[in-house]
Amino acid sequence: MTDAIVQDWYAHKIGYVLQLAVPYYEELTVRQNLFFAAHMRLPKSMSHIRKFERVEQILAEVFKLFNYAEFKVRSNLSTL
């Protein structure tokens, strides 16, 4: 089999979806979701406190996000 045949076979058998958004949990607040994402994505060598500080920094820097930090994430934000 050539590489082209193998690639063609895989292209028809396998699907790949690039997930750009970080999963979020509707039962958690915006701050809790960011903190969870920070723990999942930032290096293990970074301390718990430093990760929390980074989340707080993001909340402060992102326009109006700090105002919603204690809101629970919902699928339909139009009801805010």
pLDDT per position in the chain (80 positions), as tens?
A: 677 766 666 666 666 555 556 567 888 888 998 898 898 889 999 999 999 999 999 888 886 778 888 888 775 545 54
Answer whether residue 10 is part of any domain.
no
What pLDDT is recorded for position 64? 76
What pLDDT is recorded for position 73? 78
What pLDDT is recorded for position 32? 92
CB-based contact 39:51 (threshold 8 Å): yes
Q: How many domains does the chain have?
A: 1
Neighbours of 56 (CB within 10 A): 15
Range of the domain at 36: 20-79
- DSSP secondary structure string, 6-44? HHHHHHHH-------SPP--TTSBHHHHHHHHHHHHS-T
Answer whether residue 11 is part of any domain.
no
- In one-letter notation, the amino acid at residue 37 is A
Answer whether residue 1 is part of any domain.
no
